[in-house]
A and B are shown apart, each in its own frame.
Chain A
Amino acid sequence: MTTTLTRPLPGPDATAGRGRGRARRLVWLLVVLALAVGATFGYRAYAAHAADVRTGTDAVSADEFAARTGIRVDLLGVTAQGGMIEFRYQVLDPDKASLILHDESKRPILVAEGSGQTLAMVSRPHSHKADLRAGGTYFFLMANTASAIHDGTEVSVIIGDARLEHVAARA
């Protein structure tokens, strides 16, 4: 195939051809753009869905939550001038409750139901010397990151695959 440094003269149908080409390019552009937008929104929706720690957990009653986790949630207290959340709980089953201390996947996670803001602990809060006793009351302190939870905020408490909803925080 030879190359030319000059543009060939247009034929009789060149204008129509250029029009059809532009239209085709425009259609392709729109298709690609639509795919890109769709993919972006789809990815964002998927990402948001994947980032929601509530996904894959079961909303359960307080009794079922206690049966699964071994604890009863006594208090979500907005404390330290709003800087921390006190997660106070009573141990009903020490064996199950001990997993909260020692199993990373069982650390309590709080989700503010209105905003979706999530509070989680990033490191282990307890010692293996912890001696949880049936009936005993214990607590975690969690940072109230960016003031996610206020007095009256309804919170979902997640431990493992169990989710206790509509727990009202108090100040």
Chain B
Amino acid sequence: MTSPSSARRALRRGLALATTALVAAGAAVATVPSAATAAPTPRNGIVCTTGGPSAADHQPVFDLTTRTGYIDLPDGNTMFMWGYSNGFDAFQHPGPVLCVHEGDQVTVILHNTLPEASSIVFPGQEGVLADGVPSQPQTDGTGMMSSLAQPAAAQSGTVTYSFTAHHAGTFLYESGTDPEKQVRMGLFGALVVRPTLGDDYAYDSADSRFNPSEEFMVLLSEIDPYQHQAVERNKPFNLTTYKPRYWLINGRGYPDSIADNGASWLPNQPYGSLATVKPYQPDPTKPGYHPESGMARYLSVGSEDYPFHPHGNNGLVVGRDGRPMKTDAGQDLSMEKFAINIGPGQTWDVLFRWFDAEHYSKENPVPTTVPDLANQVVGTFYSGSPYLGNKEALPPGVESLNQCGEYYIISHNHALYQITSWGVTMTGPITYMRIEPPEPNTCN
């Protein structure tokens, strides 16, 4: 059998060659001028839809089309959904992430292809117009409210909504028509309003700065499969029997949640939720200088509180429901939280930093105790540990247990019965934070 030392030597040689090749490839790529097209989809993090060429003039225009389609779930099931697609694209879930700037004149044109009327409401926005008149609740001939906003008629109706994005922050947009059905079916998405101060700030305050490469969305939702089955079959559904069996992050359940944006096996679920961060290191005289925070934008369209719990690090809550955590006089009301207990319809803006308390490196993996067998479940981590890098015997020719010295921490909904998919445990609203190793590294 090949000795570990010779295997390590061979691996080092291979890594050196690979690194050289990667550096060469990177240099080659870097010399190619970028095309004047939309930025490529980032491998992880928020995928912004920016509102076309008029966005540069602070007048972004979004076409959203209601579509029907199917998503894949972690237990192997598929689910019939409704959703907003970008422009006139095919079905996707959830709707596109609309990114605008504070003060923008935002236009959203709804094109409805569903067999019933539908609308969009923009919680947290002021002065919203629908076809040029105030967007407001609608009533039917009996005086009963039929919609929270002017709807687009079934099959081919169109409504143009417009508003000025007065406030920076994180917001939902969702159906205002029969929301207990239409929002549950998937008619929702996120709206991110960037502050005047810059795209790397959550709000117009210097203390809300974050690193744009570490900005992530956690859009939490739920599914009662019987409701979706009833809608698919055009049958009535008794809401008193409503009971979610699936819970999702960004329209995906774990382990799909940690797959890249645009993963090929999830054609209708474009958004992952893996967070990638570098250790916080504010001293420019030391290696690994990284003085910024990361930013997590939490949103919920669920029917009950979701106590979301990023393991291993707390966060600084700097905003709630699209408003900064400050008094009118500017007093700081931000707070450190270890669990984000996000209620229905809420949004939370949380800055976070990852401190390398153990001086972790590939040569010094964090020693962990692999949980007792009785505490491990189907679908758990490859090693039974939330940390990659336990110090056990390695397979032949393997120098480290992970890709390139990185490190993972789980984040999940702490209502543990909800981290399931119709009974399949360790699925659903779970994702990871990936801590990148010090540079230079062999990650690619």
Interface residues of A (CB under 8 A from B): 44, 47-48, 50-51, 74-75, 77, 79-84, 86, 88, 90, 101, 117-132, 135-147, 151, 170-171
Q: For the complex, what is the distance from the CA of A74 to the CA of B258, rounded to whole Å? A: 17
Whether the Cβ atoms of B397 and A127 lie closer than 8 Å is no
Contact of A81 among B260, B265, B377 (CB under 8 A): B260
B33 within 8 A of A: no
Q: For the complex, what is the distance from the CA of A10 to the CA of B75, rounded to whole Å? A: 92
Q: Which residues of B contact A74 (CB under 8 A)?
A: 76
Whether the Cβ atoms of B259 and A123 lie closer than 8 Å is no
**Residues of A contacting B: mostly:** mixed
The contact sample of 21 A-B pairs, CB cut-off 8 A, is A50-B1, A79-B258, A79-B260, A79-B263, A80-B259, A81-B44, A83-B404, A121-B382, A122-B394, A123-B385, A123-B390, A129-B374, A129-B377, A136-B424, A138-B424, A139-B255, A140-B382, A143-B383, A143-B388, A146-B14, A171-B260
Q: Which residues of A contact B393 (CB under 8 A)?
A: 122
Q: For the complex, what is the distance from the CA of A105 to the CA of B409, rounded to whole Å? A: 29
Whether the Cβ atoms of B263 and A171 lie closer than 8 Å is yes
B313 within 8 A of A: no
B41 within 8 A of A: no
Whether the Cβ atoms of B397 and A141 lie closer than 8 Å is no
A83 in contact with B263 given A118-B397, A120-B395, A138-B378 (CB within 8 Å): no
Whether the Cβ atoms of A141 and B382 lie closer than 8 Å is yes
Q: Which residues of B contact A170 (CB under 8 A)?
A: 263-265
Contact of A83 among B18, B385, B403, B424 (CB under 8 A): B403
Contact of B397 among A51, A142, A147, A151 (CB under 8 A): A51
Whether the Cβ atoms of A77 and B259 lie closer than 8 Å is yes
Q: Which residues of A contact B383 (CB under 8 A)?
A: 121-123, 125, 143
Whether the Cβ atoms of A79 and B264 lie closer than 8 Å is no
Whether the Cβ atoms of A143 and B397 lie closer than 8 Å is no
Whether the Cβ atoms of B259 and A83 lie closer than 8 Å is no
Whether the Cβ atoms of A127 and B1 lie closer than 8 Å is no
Mark contacts of B145-184 with chain A using CB atoms, 8 A cut-off: 1 yes-contact digit, 0 otherwise.
Answer: 0000000000000000000000000000000000000000
A80 in contact with B395 given A137-B75, A145-B401, A146-B15 (CB within 8 Å): no
Whether the Cβ atoms of B1 and A51 lie closer than 8 Å is yes
Q: Which residues of A contact B379 (CB under 8 A)?
A: 138-140
Whether the Cβ atoms of A123 and B384 lie closer than 8 Å is yes
Nearest CB on A from B316, distance (A): 25
Q: For the complex, what is the distance from the CA of A88 to the CA of B265, rounded to whole Å? A: 12
A80, closest chain B residue (CB): B258
Q: Which residues of A contact B396 (CB under 8 A)?
A: 51, 118
Nearest CB on A from B391, distance (A): 10
Give how many B residues have a beta carbon under 8 Å from the other chain's beta carbons: 57
Residue in B11, B375, B383, B395 whose Cβ sees the most chain A Cβ within 10 Å: B395
Q: For the complex, what is the distance from the CA of A145 to the CA of B442, rounded to whole Å? A: 11
Whether the Cβ atoms of A144 and B403 lie closer than 8 Å is yes
Whether the Cβ atoms of B444 and A127 lie closer than 8 Å is no
Nearest CB on A from B314, distance (A): 23
Contact of B381 among A75, A137, A141 (CB under 8 A): A141
Scan residues 11-43 of chain B and give those whose CB is less than 8 A from a CB of chain A. Answer: 11, 14-15, 18, 43
Nearest CB on A from B438, distance (A): 16
Nearest CB on A from B387, distance (A): 11
Q: A51-B397, A141-B381 are in contact. List 19 more A-B contacts (CB 8 A).
A: A51-B2, A51-B396, A79-B255, A80-B408, A81-B44, A86-B255, A101-B378, A118-B398, A123-B383, A125-B376, A126-B376, A126-B377, A127-B377, A127-B380, A139-B74, A143-B388, A146-B442, A147-B444, A171-B264
Q: For the complex, what is the distance from the CA of A50 to the CA of B1, rounded to whole Å? A: 6
Contact of A124 among B255, B274, B384, B408 (CB under 8 A): B384
